[in-house]
Amino acid sequence: NQETIHMPASTNKTLGPCIDPPPNLLGPLRVEFNFKLTLEEVRKEISRPLQEGGRYKPPDCIATQKVAIIIPFRNRHEHLKHWLYFLHPILMRQQLDYGVYVINQDGEGVFNRAKLMNVGYVEALKQYDYDCFVFSDVDLVPLDDRNIYKCFDNPRHLAVAMDKFNFRLPYKTYFGGVSSLFKNQFLKINGFPNTYWGWGGEDDDIYNRIVFRGMSISRPDSETGRYKMIKHNRDLHNEANPKNPDKLRHTQRSMDKDGINSLKYTVKEIVKDALYTFITVDIQAPA
Ligand code: UDH
Ligand code: NGS
């Protein structure tokens, strides 16, 4: 004698945890960078499920991680528009509880990618209790949505098969492009170096830090980890710095004093767009 209890779905408000893998992924994606939409049109098309500042939570399950996506930035608005257009739908399908933080270097001084990413870590934590940090160049779009923008048991390198490297790693210890670290993994390596001005080497320094702290690198396979890069010329004020390669010989010694514990900057402005939080910072760049 069985009793059936009928409960209308709408009254059952308790959400369960999101399941792994997310059920609505598409796998390989078609990505072309030639669309003519304006940023306003991109906003109209994709901002509806988002909260102000480019924040999202899956509506029907509880995500297991809170993910801050940090983009080091200056003067790449066209790339940012494409990144937002392609990434938001992917991140939503991945059922992430996430926010997008664009860290914009103020002024015309020498660019510093790793220092901007440190700033992103600190500023994102002021907004929400994030436990995972994904660091992404503005010009990289994944070609497979099974490459999940979350954190793993070891620091993760996500951009393992970029088109510009013929869909392979350029070298075994490459850690550039897109990576993710749990908060505790990031703190274990004292964050990223602040002293790599200009182009080159800061990603190798981060790799060294991870190894020196006894961790290894987690990676997707080379099918899942495919990326397309938006083609561009070298930026102004981000020349290859010939001093940077040499600094890599000293990571083990320098990492305890150059990192999140020595970070100094000032916030000039925080703007919450529908699709992202845009934080302009003075990082005391040399002229
Ligand atoms: N970035 C900016 N603005 C800059 C410099 C760098 O936003 O002025 C950010 C952006 O997120 C970019 C990332 O830093 O994706 C990495 O910088 P990068 O794109 O300059 O590095 P990459 O190795 O290119 O991709 C180096 C120059 C390649 C010239 C190739 C000419 N065909
Ligand atoms: C290495 C750089 C890395 C860089 C990688 C790929 O030589 O920062 O090339 O560069 N290391 C040093 O300069 C010490 S790329 O082919 O994308 O221009 O990420």
pLDDT tens track for 220-251: 999 999 999 999 999 999 999 999 999 999 99
Mean pLDDT of the chain: 96
The answer, yes or no, to whether any atom of ligand 2 lies below 6 A from the CB of 200, is: yes
pLDDT of residue 12: 60
Percentage of the chain with pLDDT > 90? 94
Question: What is the Å distance from ligand 2's center to 171 Cα?
Answer: 10
Question: What is the Å distance from ligand 1's center to 74 Cα?
Answer: 9
This prediction's pTM: 0.95
Q: How far apart are CA 102 and CA 70, in angstroms?
A: 6
Task: Please choose from 115, 232, 239 the residue to mutate so as to test ligand 1's pocket, defined by most ligand atoms within 8 A of CB.
Answer: 232
Percentage of the chain with pLDDT > 70? 96
The answer, yes or no, to whether any atom of ligand 2 lies below 6 A from the CB of 137, is: no
Is 5's pLDDT higher than 60? no
- For ligand 1, atom 32, name the residue with the nearest CA: 233
| Mean pLDDT, rounded, for 182-195 | 99
Active site residues: 137, 139, 199, 202-203, 229, 232, 234
ipTM value: 0.96
| Mean pLDDT, rounded, for 184-200 | 98
Task: Please choose from 113, 164, 204 the residue to mutate so as to test ligand 2's pocket, defined by most ligand atoms within 8 A of CB.
Answer: 204
Residues with CB under 6 A from ligand 1: 71-76, 111, 113, 137-139, 199, 233-235, 238
pLDDT of residue 8: 54
Question: What is the Å distance from ligand 1's center to 38 Cα?
Answer: 22
pLDDT of residue 13: 73
| Mean pLDDT, rounded, for 155-163 | 99
pLDDT of residue 35: 86
pLDDT of residue 34: 87
| Mean pLDDT, rounded, for 152-167 | 98
pLDDT of residue 241: 98
Question: What is the Å distance from ligand 2's center to 200 Cα?
Answer: 5
- For ligand 1, atom 9, name the residue with the nearest CA: 73
Q: Is residue 158 classed as helix, strand or coil in its secondary structure?
A: coil
pLDDT of residue 3: 53
pLDDT of residue 2: 54
Indicate the range of 9-18, 48-57, 74-83, 273-282 predicted with least confidence.
9-18
Is 6's pLDDT higher than 60? no
CA dihedral 140, 175, 74, 238 (to 10 degrees): -120
Q: How far apart are CA 178 and CA 190, in angstroms?
A: 19
Q: How far is CA 183 from the centre of its chain?
A: 13
Other residues' Cβ atoms within 10 Å of the Cβ of residue 54: 24
Question: What is the Å distance from ligand 1's center to 204 Cα?
Answer: 16
- Per DSSP (E only), the strands in the chain are 55-56, 66-73, 97-105, 132-136, 140-142, 156-157, 161-162, 178-182, 226-229, 266-272, 277-282
Is 136's pLDDT higher than 90? yes
pLDDT of residue 4: 55
Residue with tokens 């608005």: 77
